Structure 1
Amino acid sequence: MKSKKKVIVFLLFICSVFTMRAQNIQLDKKLLYKVIDGDSLYLHIFQPKVSKKPTAAIVFFFGGGWVSGNPKQFYQQSKYFASRGMLAISAEYRIKNTHGTTPLECVEDGKSAIRWVREHAKEFNIDPNKIVAAGGSAGGHVALSTSVIEGFENKNENLSISAIPNAVVAYNPVSDTTKKGYGANKLVGREKEISPVHQLKKGLPPMLLFHGTKDKTVPFENASRFTKIANELGNDCKLVSVENVGHGFFNGDFFRKGGGNKYYNLTTYDTDVFLKKLGYVKGKPTLFRELIQVACVGDSNTKAQYPQFLQGFLGKEYQVKNFGKGGATLIDGSNFPYAKINEYKKSIKFGSDIVLIMFGTNDANPKWFLDPKRPTKFNGSAKEEFKSEYLKLIKSYKKKNKNTQIYVLTPMPIWVEKNPKKEFIKERKEALNNWVIPIVKEISLEQDVTLIDVHQLMKKSFKFSKDGVHLTKDGYKVLAKKIGKEIK
């Protein structure tokens, strides 16, 4: 039994280490690949494990409308594909805000980057015939342009070395730079010169495109039309339509903090499968395509540790995030009314597939619910306010994602005998039993959401109580396992 516990603790440790690393991804090195007009451009390198055979390489170009942006946008993807055995690169290129350039120079720099990587293939131990150009938005345009657009070469480079990649992956790319697409105002009089959809031809490298059906920046129609024409010309071009998402959806938690990895996982998984078919990677993807995002919302019993242990229990098919706040209430006028704090805003941004809501322990404190001077705009009793705010909370998560699965959790038991002198502990226990828990159960029936009766599940866990209200580390492990079994 002891050895089993040690294994569980070790796995949880590994999980926490992985999470910390994901939040602070570091490149292996930067290499200068181009100097032009006094500007130095670098490749941000992520190296795979040493291989006897030459590996494939993938070069990512960041988005930002050819105006702004930085290579960190693709650090998360680069780290992943390096772990899959490819040399992964996130490339700098000239942009308007920094270099005063136009989209034309961006295309040139994209070609320079692919050419430089191919020219140095031997020293990087890569196969010069397995180089992928990839990118998002304007960077997706750069990636497409390296394979489609002729000209715009730097004459000071060795033009006998091809700048055409062997495959292309583009995430919500700009594929039409006329008024039907994006960027016409930046290319007045030259709108079609670097418009990929207007330069399509036979014999292009295989392509994989991703596009959100609700993209308001780069119309989904552009990607659909590009794919149709490319295939009619005999090329291999696949479009993955991602329903109900807008522009930039493919970014993960590293670059777009707080949004979760749902669509990063989806696009990275499909990219992995695409590259495997080409023979650029081996084995199965090491992440799940359909990542399930879980938001844990509540007070100190959520903030403590149970979400961390829940992640370990559920595994990498899930992404669990902790949005708990010590002292939080649903009623207003307390130290931390949940609807007014950052944890609430962050939980909405996360766009969860599952939301676990556990409030009531602090709402049951007479210090708040019996205070006649408690500042609140609600016209009614504290009990009515608790229910009203709970319903608003559920509605806000449903508004963000109508398919969100809501779980309402009754509060943890309170053990008076553990700490009988703790402020209002007897009164809080009475309030929990008399009105808080009944209201939570009532809400679950009225809103047709799933009830997890934590109060009942943990009623025999007295030995894990630290102060009558909170649990020990082992107690939160038990709680996480019980909740996990209810949702898995």
Structure 2
Amino acid sequence: MLDHKLFYFIAGLTLGLALAFGPAVVRRVVNALEGPDRVAVYRTLDGHDLHLHVFSAKGQRPSTGAPALLLFHGGAWQYGSPEAFFPQCRVFAARGVSCISAEYRIASRHDTDPRAAVEDAHAALAYLRGHAGELGIDAARIAAGGGSAGGHLAAMLGVAADEALRPAAMVLFNPMLDLSPGKPDHHLVAEFWQAVSPFQMIDSAPPPSLILLGTEDREVPVASAQAFCDAVIGHGGRCELALYEGAKHGFFNLRENDRAYFDATNQRVAAFLAGLGWLSD
């Protein structure tokens, strides 16, 4: 917790920087002041620590712990930062859902491909389950989600070969679901696409799933998302596809002077979680 004098100093400095350099500075300072309650190292590889940014559920928690939402940022498995989902995490923590934004290996920083990112996603979920008590979360109510490439990682968790390792639910923002030949981004995984394409791996016991997608998304065709949902339902699962007319890739992000899609998608996710009995509608 910041000392109040330091807080006002930073607030004044922020205003000055914002006037001088624009709103991007404001976003960075807000993330610093309203950042995670805890940052945990969940994996260390080749001297690199990978972190989970934990926004703890506010209010009274059930004796079993709060439900949790583990989110992975987008960036084509090459770029991006956990800060991308900090705005959503603040929203859901205020609603009583612990929200965790994960760092994972990406090409620009670690010289890796999507297979490494998938490994990290499994490790992140395993860490949350193994440390659920100290984090105040319910190990049986952890949903995995993310945007674009991050949605792909969450979907890969949902189709894990060992059903016991799957999350309890999936919240997928314009996720890469079908990486087969002829699909967008196949070129990034052409040599090993069968190992990382969630659509082809759907089998029995898929977790309840929500997909949020813009109708004008060139990276994730509506037909691919619908096929994924149909396959989940065909294997006895539950899948909801929420379409946003005219929206493009990344539409759910918080933008300057435009909260419409941000607020709408957050409300839709909250309704989905309420349908699971994880929070009050």
> Is this contact kept in 1: 2:160–2:166, CA < 8 A?
no
Report the CA distance between 1:222 and its aligned residue.
Answer: 1.2
> Is this contact kept in 1: 2:106–2:112, CA < 8 A?
yes
Instruction: Report the counterpart of residue 75 of structure 2 in structure 1.
Output: 64
SS at 1:241's partner residue? strand
> Is this contact kept in 2: 1:121–1:128, CA < 8 A?
yes
In structure 2, stretches of 5+ residues that fail to align are 1-25
When residues 200 and 52 of structure 1 are mapped into structure 2, their CA distance, relative to the original with a 3 A threshold, is closer
Report the CA distance between 1:220 and its aligned residue.
Answer: 2.0
When residues 197 and 259 of structure 1 are mapped into structure 2, their CA distance, relative to the original with a 3 A threshold, is farther
Report the CA distance between 1:85 and its aligned residue.
Answer: 1.0
Report the CA distance between 1:22 and its aligned residue.
Answer: 11
Instruction: Give the 5 Å matches for 1:225-264.
Output: 225-253=227-255, 258=256, 260-264=258-262
> Is this contact kept in 2: 1:64–1:138, CA < 8 A?
yes
CA RMSD of aligned residues (A): 1.9
Instruction: Report the counterpart of residue 24 of structure 1 in structure 2.
Output: 30
One-letter amino acid matched to 1:226: F
Is 1:51 matched with 2:61?
A: yes
Name the CA distance, whole Å, in 2 between partners of 1:241 and 1:249: 11
Name the CA distance, whole Å, in 1 between partners of 2:234 and 2:224: 15
When residues 86 and 245 of structure 1 are mapped into structure 2, their CA distance, relative to the original with a 3 A threshold, is same
When residues 66 and 125 of structure 1 are mapped into structure 2, their CA distance, relative to the original with a 3 A threshold, is same
Report the CA distance between 1:188 and its aligned residue.
Answer: 2.2
Instruction: Report the counterpart of residue 173 of structure 1 in structure 2.
Output: 175
> Is this contact kept in 2: 1:33–1:113, CA < 8 A?
yes
> Is this contact kept in 2: 1:78–1:88, CA < 8 A?
yes
Instruction: Give the 5 Å matches for 1:397-476.
Output: none
Deviations 1:331-361 (A, max 9, x none): xxxxxxxxxxxxxxxxxxxxxxxxxxxxxxx
Instruction: Report the counterpart of residue 98 of structure 1 in structure 2.
Output: 109
Report the CA distance between 1:247 and its aligned residue.
Answer: 0.3
Residue from 192, 195, 202 that aligns with 2:194: 192
Report the CA distance between 1:95 and its aligned residue.
Answer: 0.3
In structure 1, stretches of 5+ residues that fail to align are 1-19, 152-160, 285-488
Deviations 1:419-475 (A, max 9, x none): xxxxxxxxxxxxxxxxxxxxxxxxxxxxxxxxxxxxxxxxxxxxxxxxxxxxxxxxx
Relative to the length of structure 1, the TM-score reads 0.49
Report the CA distance between 1:52 and its aligned residue.
Answer: 5.2
Instruction: Report the counterpart of residue 22 of structure 2 in structure 1.
Output: none
One-letter amino acid matched to 2:144: A
> Is this contact kept in 1: 2:184–2:220, CA < 8 A?
yes
Name the CA distance, whole Å, in 2 between partners of 1:166 and 1:140: 15
Name the CA distance, whole Å, in 1 between partners of 2:250 and 2:257: 11
Aligned residues: 251
One-letter amino acid matched to 2:94: S
Residue from 213, 223, 228 that aligns with 1:221: 223
Instruction: Report the counterpart of residue 279 of structure 1 in structure 2.
Output: 277
When residues 109 and 217 of structure 1 are mapped into structure 2, their CA distance, relative to the original with a 3 A threshold, is same
Instruction: Give the 5 Å matches for 1:362-377.
Output: none
Report the CA distance between 1:21 and its aligned residue.
Answer: 9.3
Instruction: Report the counterpart of residue 6 of structure 2 in structure 1.
Output: none
Is 1:41 matched with 2:50?
A: yes
Deviations 1:144-189 (A, max 9, x none): 00111438xxxxxxxxx95311000000000011234333212223
Report the CA distance between 1:133 and its aligned residue.
Answer: 0.2
Name the CA distance, whole Å, in 2 between partners of 1:273 and 1:30: 28
> Is this contact kept in 2: 1:22–1:76, CA < 8 A?
no
Name the CA distance, whole Å, in 1 between partners of 2:257 and 2:218: 19
Report the CA distance between 1:28 and its aligned residue.
Answer: 1.7
When residues 275 and 52 of structure 1 are mapped into structure 2, their CA distance, relative to the original with a 3 A threshold, is closer
Relative to the length of structure 2, the TM-score reads 0.84
Residue from 82, 88, 97 that aligns with 1:77: 88
Which gives a bigger RCO, structure 1 or 2 (Cα 8 Å, sep 6+)?
2
Instruction: Report the counterpart of residue 264 of structure 2 in structure 1.
Output: 266
Instruction: Report the counterpart of residue 13 of structure 2 in structure 1.
Output: none
When residues 23 and 259 of structure 1 are mapped into structure 2, their CA distance, relative to the original with a 3 A threshold, is farther
Residue from 146, 163, 170 that aligns with 1:135: 146
SS at 2:36's partner residue? coil
Instruction: Report the counterpart of residue 212 of structure 1 in structure 2.
Output: 214
Which range moves more in the overlay, 109-118 or 27-36?
27-36
